[in-house]
Structure formats: structure tokens, C-alpha cells
């Protein structure tokens, strides 16, 4: 059974999203494209919330979000209690987000990274496991309520 990866982006992340989907599908992942579907200007929350909801409702699922700076779509995702979205701009940050923070969504800044950098970050994010141990207590304190 293929691992389903929900992915969403705003207009600034559309091109990077399309390239990542193509590459990840060729690597055997089943991608769930939750939009947007063109470079026409849209509002990032309209595409960040659906990915965050899918991740929140499916324990162990990892997701990908993309906008121009990565900030807006990351903030949107983190409004969901079951989501720990990490804004990543280099591979080491993506790896630590999984290892230490048990992040379940990676948010990428399309205007500031190359496709190669994005792919490296996504690959490490999808394959790195949460270390647990001393990090569990800290991660458990993130959610409100």
C-alpha cells in the first residue's frame, strides 16, 4: 500500500508543487493534490486548511504545504491542534523538525528555494523518524488544551 501524502499550495507555490508531485509519484508516493491548480492569485488558507485537516484526521500522515514565503500557509496549518507544521528552508531544519519536534507537515518557501533544495527537504522529512525520548514531553506541551 502506498503512503498518501496530501499537498497544497497557493499561486506562488503552484509550480514547485507540480514538480514535487511529479517527482514524488515517480518515487512511489501517492500524492493527494488539494490545490491550488494554477498561478492565478488565491488565498493560501483555502489550500492550507484542507491539507492540515487531512493530516489532523489521519494519525501518522505527513503533509506538504507551499506558499511564497512559507509563513502564511505554515501559520494556517498550525491553527489545527493536531498539526505541527514546520517552516523549512534547508535540509537540516527539515530533519530536525521530524526528529525533535515530530512535525507532521513541512511548509516550504517557494520564492526562496530551488526545486533541488525542496526535494532534498521533502525526502528527508518523509523518511526521518521522530526520536521520541526527551522530546516527547516537549512535543506533548505544544498543543493548547
Q: Is the pLDDT of residue 2 over 90?
A: no
Host H or E run for residue 31: strand 30-33
Per-residue pLDDT band at 71 (split at 50, 70, 90)? very high
What does the pLDDT average to over 73-86?
A: 97
Residues 115-143 pLDDT 10s: 999 999 999 999 999 999 999 999 999 98
Active site residue 144: no
What does the pLDDT average to over 84-113?
A: 98
pLDDT value of residue 3: 86
Host H or E run for residue 108: strand 105-109
Domain spans, the chain: 4-140
Host H or E run for residue 136: helix 134-140
Distance between CA 66 and CA 110 in Å, rounded? 6
Q: What is the mean pLDDT of the chain?
A: 96
What does the pLDDT average to over 98-108?
A: 98
Active site residue 49: no
Distance between CA 126 and CA 6 in Å, rounded? 12
User: Do the beta carbons of residue 93 and residue 86 sit within 8 Å?
Assistant: yes
Which candidate in 11, 36, 49, 67 is catalytic?
67
Give the contacts of 33 (CB within 8 A, at least 6 positions apart).
7, 8, 17, 21
β-sheet bridge partners, residue 33: 7
pLDDT value of residue 144: 85
User: Do the beta carbons of residue 18 and residue 25 sit within 8 Å?
Assistant: no
Residues 40-57 pLDDT 10s: 999 999 999 999 999 999
Sheet with 105-109, strands from edge to edge, namely 30-33, 4-9, 63-67, 105-109, 85-87
CATH number of 4-140: 3.40.1400.10
Amino acid at each position: 500500500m502506498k503512503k498518501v501524502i496530501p499537498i497544497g499550495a497557493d499561486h506562488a507555490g503552484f509550480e514547485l508543487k507540480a514538480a514535487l508531485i511529479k517527482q514524488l509519484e515517480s518515487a512511489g508516493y501517492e500524492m493527494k493534490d488539494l490545490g491550488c491548480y494554477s498561478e492565478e492569485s488565491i488565498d493560501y488558507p483555502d489550500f492550507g486548511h484542507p491539507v492540515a485537516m487531512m493530516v489532523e484526521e489521519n494519525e501518522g500522515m505527513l503533509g506538504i504545504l507551499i506558499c511564497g514565503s512559507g509563513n502564511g500557509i505554515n501559520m494556517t496549518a498550525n491553527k489545527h491542534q493536531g498539526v505541527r507544521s514546520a517552516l523549512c528552508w534547508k535540509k537540516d531544519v527539515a530533519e530536525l523538525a521530524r526528529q525533535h519536534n515530530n512535525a507532521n507537515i513541512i511548509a516550504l518557501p517557494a520564492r526562496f528555494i530551488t526545486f533541488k533544495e525542496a526535494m532534498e527537504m521533502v525526502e528527508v522529512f518523509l523518511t526521518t523518524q521522530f526520536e521520541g525520548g526527551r522530546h516527547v514531553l516537549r512535543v506533548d506541551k505544544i498543543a493548547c488544551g
